[in-house]
């Protein structure tokens, strides 16, 4: 199931020229108390179509810097990714991981 070559193609679309589509950075869903204390482990999958960003942007997070920092996946301005694995407490630099080898392409 985890092998892309085994995916079934349901329909193929004609290629069309790309165009700029407006986005609204900063939109989010707020869940009171988030996921605190509910899971010992979790996993997620997301597909990112990078856009030029002027500052680090959260892709998925439970992260309210600087006092309530849980987990986060960030897209950085240089198109690298960062991850933060916190305990929902104050920010700790040692919990931030920058994926310097993974650079997304436009």
Indicate whether 86 belongs to any domain: yes
Q: Is the pLDDT of residue 43 over 80?
A: no
Residue 8 lies in a domain: no
Tell whether 44 is covered by a domain: no
Q: Residue 8's pLDDT band (boundaries 50, 70, 90)?
A: confident
- Domain assignment present for residue 91? The answer is yes
64 vs 103, more confident: 64
The answer to whether residue 65 is domain-embedded is yes
Measured distance CA(86)–CA(96) in Å, rounded = 8
Lowest-confidence region among 26-30, 57-61, 76-80, 95-99:
26-30
- Domain assignment present for residue 67? The answer is yes
- Kindly report the pTM of this predicted structure: 0.59
Domain with 87, as residue range(s), is 56-99
| pLDDT score of 55 | 87
Q: For the chain, what is the mean pLDDT?
A: 79
The count of structural domains within the chain is: 1
Buried-exposed string 33-63: b where 16+ CB fall within 10 A, e elsewhere: ebeeeeeeeeeeeeeeeeeeeeeeebeebbb
């Amino acid at each position: 199931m985890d092998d892309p070559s085994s995916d079934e193609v349901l329909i193929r679309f004609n290629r069309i020229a790309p165009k700029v589509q407006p986005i609204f950075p900063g939109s989010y869903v707020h869940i009171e108390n988030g996921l605190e204390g509910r899971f010992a482990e979790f996993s997620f999958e997301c597909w990112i179509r990078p856009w030029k960003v002027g500052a680090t942007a959260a892709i998925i997070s439970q992260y309210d810097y600087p006092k309530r920092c849980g987990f986060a996946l960030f897209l950085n301005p240089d198109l690298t990714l960062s991850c933060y694995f916190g305990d929902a407490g104050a920010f700790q630099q040692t919990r931030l991981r920058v994926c310097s080898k993974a650079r997304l392409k436009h």
